[in-house]
């Protein structure tokens, strides 16, 4: 998506065994469109080589404050061009230097000379992380605006298990993207439903659909990146919970409605985006025991309607701004228009039903004032466009 296009990051790598993961981090950062300058400490070079780092970054790798060019001051020039300084992995040593203003190598010189944001991704033994001195330094840095990505708990190379483990490069990348994303939804609360529902017929059988939850989870992720507090009510699916999102797992449509109403009562969201593919019908009767197959009879199932979650929220007095999705096999835009007016929504995202389970979506924004074609795009890109549109709708509502 080139989410970091035009950005410049100064990446500091220190002497942790997790230094090899910085190679993948460089690759991910560059794939998102940003320029990466690398500074390595002497200790870091015991774990990862300058040749590899130069090949991955496409730029010279810096390891000394001394330079043969009399017209440059290494640490000043590196810091001046960077939009963000990222130290990943960061040892307890570099954290202590940053907290106490110690500058005795190129990386610590850069940290002392910086005027832009600093993000630190720690990686160290759990006992080193929990040491009062480290915690004191971390607390001081956080109080002074330094951002931290991790650490997380887990198995460590030394055999210990606990907090201090380096965050995975993909997670650090998302923290970097979050930093650069304008916080257009700061102080806004967003409620999203995602995935299918499952309506049980007996303990082993039921009725559902093929929704993967990908679109709803992508929207939740983008809303969080834009600064919102996000609650995600998810039906049965296997998507990873985006960082910072409050996830509630449900199974049936009735459970989803109950969770949505409880969140509306407790949280009072500003925005509700109904993405879940809720089963419209459920068996009128469910059985406590497995229904046995009999050769001389046919099974007949009577269905009753499930509650309409989106309509229920849209009818709430002083409820949130409501956005719905309409996945159709035919007359996509017309059916979306019908849904918009019938449920009195602010926006309906119309899309073809074949997008279910896919990584791509062809969609239209359907409003009372007209329809906007978005074309075929990734679900992540559609999520970004939808959040930008939601910000506009919220602003217009306020005005």
- Select from 71, 52, 122 the least CA-distant residue to 93: 122
Domain-by-domain residue ranges, the chain? Answer: 8-180, 189-398
Residue 64: its pLDDT value, please?
Answer: 83
Beta pairing class for 199-200 and 206-207: antiparallel
Residue 3: its pLDDT value, please?
Answer: 85
Q: Which is the CATH superfamily of the domain at 189-398?
A: CoaB-like (3.40.50.10300)
Residue 75: its pLDDT value, please?
Answer: 61
Residue 169: its pLDDT value, please?
Answer: 95
Instruction: Number of helices (H) and strands (E) in the chain: give both, helices first.
Output: 13, 20
Angle at 46 between CA 44 and CA 52, to 5 degrees: 75
Residue 73: its pLDDT value, please?
Answer: 54
Contact at 8 Å (CB) between 121 and 170? no
Beta pairing class for 321-328 and 370-378: unpaired
Residue 127: its pLDDT value, please?
Answer: 92
- What is the set of active-site residues? 158
Residue 74: its pLDDT value, please?
Answer: 59
Residue 63: its pLDDT value, please?
Answer: 87
What are the C-alpha distances in Å from 40 to residues 14, 60, 106, 273?
A: 6, 11, 8, 45
Residue 157: its pLDDT value, please?
Answer: 78
What are the C-alpha distances in Å from 145 to residues 83, 103, 131, 142, 381?
A: 15, 19, 21, 5, 31
Report the C-alpha gap between 378 and 361 in whole angstroms.
Answer: 6
Residue 360: its pLDDT value, please?
Answer: 85
Residue 159 is given by DSSP the state S
User: Could you tell me the pTM of the whole model?
Assistant: 0.78
Residue 170: its pLDDT value, please?
Answer: 93
Exposure pattern of 38-70 as b/e (b: 16+ CB <10 Å)?
bbbbebbbebbeeeebeebbeeebbbebeeeee
Residue 184 is given by DSSP the state T
Question: Which residue has tokens 């009753």?
Answer: 304
Fold match between domain 8-180 and domain 189-398: yes
**Which conformational region is residue 290 in: left (phi greater than 0), alpha (psi within -120 to 50 degrees), or beta?**
beta
What are the C-alpha distances in Å from 383 to residues 76, 217, 379?
A: 39, 9, 6
What CATH class does 8-180 carry?
Answer: alpha beta
Q: What is the mean pLDDT of each run of 10 residues along the chain (399 residues)?
A: 88 94 95 93 93 93 73 69 94 95 92 93 94 96 94 83 91 92 92 95 90 94 94 95 93 96 95 94 89 77 93 92 90 88 92 81 90 90 93 83
């Amino acid at each position: 998506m080139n989410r970091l296009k035009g950005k410049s990051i100064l990446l500091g790598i220190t002497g942790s065994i997790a230094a090899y993961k910085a190679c993948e981090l460089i690759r991910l950062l560059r794939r998102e469109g940003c320029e990466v300058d690398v500074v390595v400490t002497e200790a870091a070079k015991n774990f990862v080589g300058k040749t590899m780092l130069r090949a991955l970054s496409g730029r010279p790798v810096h390891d000394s404050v001394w330079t043969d060019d009399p017209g440059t001051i290494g640490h000043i020039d590196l810091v001046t061009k960077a939009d963000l300084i990222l130290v990943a992995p960061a040892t307890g040593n570099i954290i202590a230097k940053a907290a106490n203003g110690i500058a005795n190598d190129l990386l610590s010189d850069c940290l002392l000379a910086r005027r832009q944001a600093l993000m630190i991704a720690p990686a160290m033994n759990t006992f080193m992380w929990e040491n009062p001195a480290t915690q004191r330094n971390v607390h001081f840095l956080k109080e002074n605006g330094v951002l931290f990505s991790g650490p997380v708990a887990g198995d460590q190379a030394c055999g210990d298990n606990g907090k201090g483990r380096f965050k995975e490069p993909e997670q650090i990348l998302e923290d970097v993207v979050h930093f650069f994303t304008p916080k257009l939804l700061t102080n806004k609360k967003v409620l999203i439903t995602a995935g299918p529902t499952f309506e049980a017929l007996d303990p082993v059988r039921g009725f559902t659909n093929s929704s993967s939850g990908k679109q709803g989870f992508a929207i939740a992720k983008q809303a969080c990146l834009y600064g919102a507090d996000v609650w995600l009510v998810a039906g049965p699916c296997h998507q990873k919970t985006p960082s910072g999102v409050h996830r509630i797992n449900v199974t049936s449509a009735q459970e989803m409605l109950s969770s949505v109403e409880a969140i509306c009562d407790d949280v009072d969201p500003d925005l509700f985006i109904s993405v879940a593919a809720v089963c419209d019908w459920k068996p009128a009767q469910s059985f406590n025991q497995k229904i046995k197959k009999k050769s001389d009879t046919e099974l007949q199932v009577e269905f009753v309607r499930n509650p309409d979650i989106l309509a229920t929220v849209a009818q709430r007095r002083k409820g949130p701004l409501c956005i719905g999705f309409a996945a159709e096999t035919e007359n996509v835009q017309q059916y979306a228009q019908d849904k918009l007016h019938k449920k009195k929504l602010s926006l309906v995202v119309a899309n073809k039903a074949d997008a279910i389970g896919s990584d791509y979506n062809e969609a239209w924004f359907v409003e009372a004032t007209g329809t906007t074609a978005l074309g075929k795009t990734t679900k992540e890109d559609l999520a970004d466009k939808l959040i930008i549109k939601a910000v506009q709708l919220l602003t217009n509502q306020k005005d």
